């Protein structure tokens, strides 16, 4: 090989050996900064659950070991779906204010996230409008029972059982409510401790057994 070609070939060979290392350095992903998560959190607090879900999904993708990112991703998607469902039911009611099925669905939706005050409002409206959903009647009974309105709760349980005789939960709650309501109007819901009598005041008959909600 002529001497004038040796140097170019040597340089070409050297570049060939170095190329893989250089390429791998260029392709290495950069670490995700906390700003991705923080931006998603800000959207979550602002009620932009769709945007928050997108941000938390990106944060989880960039940091696969970040459990908090996955948690808030799930929570954002849940709230996004809740918001869309509630919006649809309210739209139905704006078009038909007497739509008992939409009232029941909205009440059950609030019940599912523990918003019992809002749930009671819509479930009572649904009952007054002639709702036929046994689960809605059962959930209304649960709210009334927890609010200390035993007889109203019993009526709701009985309605749930009449709407769907296969709803065994309603039958069990009727038994509990009957026992509790039998103690009088000031009776505490089952599961709450009753006041013990003074040592000198022996009860005339055994007190009714207190039923724990967790046992039903």
- Specify the CATH number of the domain 97-190: 1.25.40.10
Q: Where does CATH 1.25.40.10 sit in the chain?
A: 97-190
Give the pair of three-digit tokens for residue 79: 């709230």
Query: Tens place of pLDDT for every residue, the chain, 216 residues?
Result: 554 544 444 444 444 444 444 444 333 333 445 789 999 999 999 989 999 999 999 999 998 988 999 999 999 998 899 999 999 999 999 999 999 999 999 999 999 989 999 999 999 999 999 999 999 999 999 999 999 999 999 999 999 999 999 999 999 999 999 998 875 544 444 444 333 333 333 334 444 444 443 444
Class of domain 34-95: mainly alpha
CB-facing half-sphere around the CA of 20: CA atoms within 13 A: 2
Look at the pTM and tell me if it is higher than 0.85. no
Give the pair of three-digit tokens for residue 19: 């190329």
């Amino acid at each position: 090989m002529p001497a004038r070609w040796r140097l170019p070939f040597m340089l070409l060979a050297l570049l060939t050996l170095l190329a893989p290392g250089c390429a791998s350095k260029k392709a290495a992903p950069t670490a995700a900064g906390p700003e991705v998560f923080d931006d998603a959190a800000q959207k979550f607090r602002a009620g932009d659950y769709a945007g928050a879900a997108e941000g938390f999904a990106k944060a989880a993708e960039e940091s696969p070991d970040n459990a908090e990112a996955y948690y808030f991703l799930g929570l954002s998607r849940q709230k996004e779906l809740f918001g869309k469902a509630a919006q649809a039911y309210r739209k139905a009611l704006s078009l038909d204010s007497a739509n008992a099925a939409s009232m029941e669905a909205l009440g059950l939706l609030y019940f599912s996230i523990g918003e019992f005050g809002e749930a009671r409002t819509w479930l009572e409206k649904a009952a007054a409008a002639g709702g036929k959903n046994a689960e809605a009647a059962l959930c209304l009974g649960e709210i009334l029972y927890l609010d200390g309105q035993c007889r109203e709760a019993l009526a709701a349980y009985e309605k749930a059982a009449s709407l769907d005789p296969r709803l065994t939960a309603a039958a069990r709650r009727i038994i509990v409510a009957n026992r509790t309501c039998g103690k009088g109007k000031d009776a505490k819901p089952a599961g709450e401790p009753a006041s013990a009598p003074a040592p000198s005041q022996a009860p005339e008959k055994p007190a009714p057994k207190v039923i724990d909600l967790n046992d039903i």
